Amino acid sequence: MLAALGFENAQTLLQSGNAVFETAAQNAVDVETLLERETERRLKVRTEYFVRNEKELARIIEQNPFPREAKDDPARLVLVFLKSKPNAKSVSDLQSRIKGPETVRAGNRHLYITYPDGQGRSKLTNAVIEKTLDMRGNGAQLEHGAEDGPSITLRVLRYLRMTTY
């Protein structure tokens, strides 16, 4: 479908639901809208896509409020891509629901979340995040490499994510 829509060099990344592609389109939200519409039309499946271009990813990395965690323990720092910018009240509500050592900071269309004790037993789950913010999200690791600088494991994340519902 990506090639049929004119996206170039489209590749899926293992069985992650992620894909990397090139497009001349400048607006990631427009690409999300096109992909959602075409997926529903062609496949009869309603889904959401989370698309970020290289400039957005670079800005997300640059603005990371947890650089030490990204470098020292990247498995405990999660970036959650969102459909739109969360409002301040929703973010405050989410922060008030935290019962453990987790920390949440909001970005433009994403959240940075630290899980000092790991995600496995945390009560700050994706379901809690989505319900509190009233929007879907998709998580990825944010890490700072020692030699090549920070990345969002860019090998994994110049992507779109498909979540069906």
Give one DSSP letter per residue of 115-140, joined into a string: -TT-STT-S--HHHHHHHHTS-EEEE
> Which pLDDT score, from 0 to 100, does residue 87 have?
94
Q: pLDDT per position in the chain (165 positions), as tens?
A: 888 888 888 887 666 677 788 888 878 888 889 999 999 999 898 888 888 887 888 888 889 999 888 888 888 999 999 989 999 999 999 999 999 999 999 999 999 999 999 988 899 998 999 999 999 888 877 665 544 444 444 333 333 344 433
Identify which of 126, 124, 103 has the alpha carbon closest to the alpha carbon of residue 113. 103
Q: Report how far Cα 73 is from the mean position of its chain's Cα atoms.
A: 19
Query: Which pLDDT belongs to residue 143?
Result: 61
pLDDT at 61: 86
Contact 17, 49 (CB under 8 A): no
Name the amino acid, one letter, at 78: V
- Domains of the chain (ranges plus CATH)? 66-155 (3.30.70)
pLDDT at 97: 92
pLDDT at 151: 43
Q: In the chain, count H helices and then E strands.
A: 6, 10
